[in-house]
Amino acid sequence: MSLLSDFEEYLQKSFPKIESFHPHYDEAFSYMLKAGGKRFRPMLLLGVVEAKAPLLVKNAMPVAAAVEYLHTYSLVHDDLPSMDNADLRRGKKTLHKAYNETLAILIGDALNTYSFYLISKAPLDAQTKIELVEILSMEGGAHGMVLGQAIDCHYEEIPLSLKEVEFLHIHKTGRLIAASLSMGGVIANLPQKEVKDLYNFGIELGLLFQIQDDLIDAVADESVAKKTTGNDSNKNSFVNLLGIEGAFKAAEEKADLINERLENFDERLQKGLKELLKDYITRHERLRVK
């Protein structure tokens, strides 16, 4: 089995059974997790562990799941009527469309907090778990992803500079991707400098990922994207700032930089990350064909 299939099997078997007399709460909790997804962030974490400390991959599974839970909460909230008001996510109705807005808000809250419970129960030493909680809460919370979301929403229809757009998307997208890589480094007990290098690499990867997502929103069909597209017309996206051709050029430049940065990692880590990223680094090229 591949690392992805191992993680998917773990994830699908580990959903909690939540007993109550609420008619939808339990099924709604796992609804968006069961819908699939790229599992990009947990795979980055596990990829680092597999490359540097393969015996710890099984122990890292709950932490990888925690990252996926927190990321999924952000999607549930991002899709809400007060934010993107999206109808489709991961090829299914968004949570507020499948159930209702109130339940979607609460399930997002539940997924967020449950991610930290998963870390607390991981078979890792206490100091490692403290470091993992610190990284995920910082990068996914007030100083990271949530700040990016707040800026994104506040400045709709108010054009920002390129530097400000990069700040927005580093926080909204890049910092959770960077966290995933650095959390893998912490689990593998890498030196602090290597963990920092992984984090910085993740920030650049996050910017590429966001430029590509902006291009998907602008040029891809919903049946291909498996989510609502055409949502960014009033937002500070790279496409709106640079134009479609400018965004493609920015993606190509960022992909070149990421390939350069990959060469700085040792052979095992380089090989593992290249395998994980081979389809992601070139996503924008496939959009040109379409």
Each residue of 203-237: pLDDT tens digit? Answer: 999 999 999 999 998 887 766 656 666 666 678 99
How many domains does the chain fold into? Answer: 1
Q: What is the pLDDT of residues 250-290, one digit of tens each?
A: 999 999 999 999 999 999 999 999 999 988 999 888 887 64
Check if the beta carbon of residue 116 is closer than 8 Å to that of residue 183: no
Q: What is the pLDDT of residues 151-201, one digit of tens each?
A: 999 999 899 999 999 999 999 999 999 999 999 999 999 999 999 999 999
What the block records as the tokens of 253 is 């430049």
Enclosing domain of residue 34 = 3-289
- What is the distance of C-alpha 282 from the center of its chain? 17
- What is the distance of C-alpha 69 from the center of its chain? 10
Q: How far is CA 245 from CA 106, 156, 230, in A?
A: 40, 22, 17
Helix (H) or strand (E) holding 88: strand 88-89
Residue 95's pLDDT band (boundaries 50, 70, 90)?
A: very high
What the block records as the tokens of 282 is 């070139």
pTM of this structure: 0.94
**CA-angle at 113, arms to 110 and 117, nearest 5°:** 120
Q: What is the pLDDT of residues 119-158, one digit of tens each?
A: 999 999 999 999 999 999 999 999 999 999 999 999 998 9
124: domain CATH number is 1.10.600.10
Helix (H) or strand (E) holding 93: strand 92-93
Check if the beta carbon of residue 69 is closer than 8 Å to that of residue 58: no
Question: In sequence order, what are the residues at sequence separation of 6 or more whose Cβ sits closer than 8 angstroms to the Cβ of residue 122?
Answer: 59, 60, 62, 63, 66, 129, 132
Q: What Rg, from alpha-carbon coordinates, does the chain have?
A: 18
How much of the chain is helix, strand and coil, in % rounded to 5?
Answer: 70, 0, 25
**pLDDT score for 1:** 66
Furthest C-alpha separation in the chain? 55
CA distance 237 to 158: 11
